Structure 1
């Protein structure tokens, strides 16, 4: 009983079949583009671009610290190239993870590289959120495939298949 009036508890029935997988920042709004989907996409785009700009600003201070420490031009160049290469690789990896599921073993081995190149990942989020929720295309394809398979399994055949008339060729 849910209250003093004696009304029974009723839990809403969950729909049968596969359920959509929630996306970070979007939940399941990507399925039907409801409940502020466009505002969330705008928020992700603006947020990822703002964080990337702030990160570049912080990296600029780090580079100036290297110049003040007078570590030499080779080390300064090495740091700049390292961040550029790691950002480019992180962008490519993040971008490809929006269309295919990444291998968990490869993902764990690239964790350090992705951490150093986080600016590339943020930029990939920014560019993808201009067209769709990051990962929406992959999740939509998987969800539709799962729904089709479920519908095929639960669809009942009419009649007895043993009595099916055969066509003479």
Structure 2
């Protein structure tokens, strides 16, 4: 009998993960964002880019850990990928399960709706007139997903479209499948 993605995520979270104090992660992440804001003189567009790049580098390494912990098979569709991201990936690493919603008619775009975001606990955006419109505080998550999915041959665009930190009703991340990458053999390997 095959286990559902939710069961896989719960099993790995309960049994195979060395836990890190959530508040420590939240405060450390907040310090990284604050330092980037300082380094880039509150140019939030550049801060968003740096968070995305940092996340991308984490994602291309994190996928190996994810695959080793879950023994996941290759997803058959982008819908399967969405379920694994939501119910297994986010559960394992952040102990949350965002809702998969807003599928496009061609099944190449969906949203993750977050009821909670542990990276944004204890956070208030700077009241400088720009942060509420320009800073995506948890943008590192976009890079993590982009990097991890690229390593399993899925080129995606990932972006936040709303955030409760900005005074909006929900925190929503949109993922769009650009293309399935072809497996390429290094030159000389056959």
TM norm structure 2: 0.25
| Higher-RCO chain (CA-CA 8 Å, sequence separation at least 6) | 1
Which of these two proteins has the greater Rg computed from alpha carbons?
1
Higher helix share: 1
Higher strand share: 2
